[in-house]
Amino acid sequence: MTAANVYQQRPTTGAKAESSLHHADLASLVGKGRKNAGVTVREKKLLGHLTIRGDGHDPAFAAGVHKALGLELPGALAVIIKGETSLQWLGPDEWLLVVPTGEEFAAEQKLREALGDLHIQIVNVSGGQQILELSGPNVRDVLMKSTSYDVHPSNFPVGKAVGTVFAKSQLVIRHTAEDTWELVIRRSFSDYWWLWLQDAAAEYGLSVQA
């Protein structure tokens, strides 16, 4: 195991954790949208986000990741999902691990133990980003309004994930199921993207899911 110091960054006292859209009070909007809305948004808040860097061509690195997470190392532009845990390719030597709330500390410890003395980097970025899940028959229409990246099924099948320009800013789009997509967004841009989605989805109807 590496000699890096690993700390529990999530408060374990009475401190209250809030998502970057806490002030928007999305919970109060549940059930108030248009019936049979074409787009439904769900805030997947306060999940654990870890970036992992290492040599993807090294069998020992891939085996260590699999041992720690039970997930194969995804290749270029791919995301692998197992329950509430996902592992996504970000670049030739970088991946994003998303785990359920509160499990990021244990996940990092398992990874460091399994990867031993390999040349790696693991960074907890949970506080800097979150995920918005979009579902419904008109999500692709909203995406086509928002990004120049080709989201046609032939180019963007389920299981693909890309970092791209979205509404004149940067984020990651993940196609997780037939009519379900995820936006991995930076915390500081949450307001901007929430306002953008409301406007882009207005003609199809937008509903909020808890």
Per-residue pLDDT, 18: 87
Residue 2 predicted with pLDDT over 60: no
Q: Residue 84 region, left (φ>0) first, then alpha (ψ -120 to 50), else beta? A: alpha
Residue 72 predicted with pLDDT over 80: yes
> How far apart (Å, rounded) are the C-alpha atoms in residues 175 and 166?
15
Residue 132 predicted with pLDDT over 90: yes
Looking at the DSSP assignment, which residues form a beta bridge with residue 89?
95
The average pLDDT across 84-109 equals 96
Percent of the chain at pLDDT > 90 equals 88
**Closest by Cα among 123, 124, 115 to 2:** 115
Token pair of 173 as six digits? 């789009």
> How far apart (Å, rounded) are the C-alpha atoms in residues 9 and 26?
26
Per-residue pLDDT, 16: 80
The mean pLDDT of the chain is 94
Per-residue pLDDT, 1: 53
What is the residue type of 72? Answer: E
Structure confidence at residue 8 as a pLDDT band (50, 70, 90)? confident
Q: pLDDT tens digit string along 142-155?
A: 999 999 999 999 99
In this prediction the pTM is 0.92
The average pLDDT across 164-186 equals 96
Q: In this structure, what DSSP letter does residue 25 have?
A: T
Orientation of helix 59-69 relative to helix 104-115, angle to 10°: 140
The average pLDDT across 37-60 equals 97
Q: Residue 209 region, left (φ>0) first, then alpha (ψ -120 to 50), else beta? A: beta
Q: pLDDT tens digit string along 98-129?
A: 999 999 999 999 999 999 999 999 999 999 99
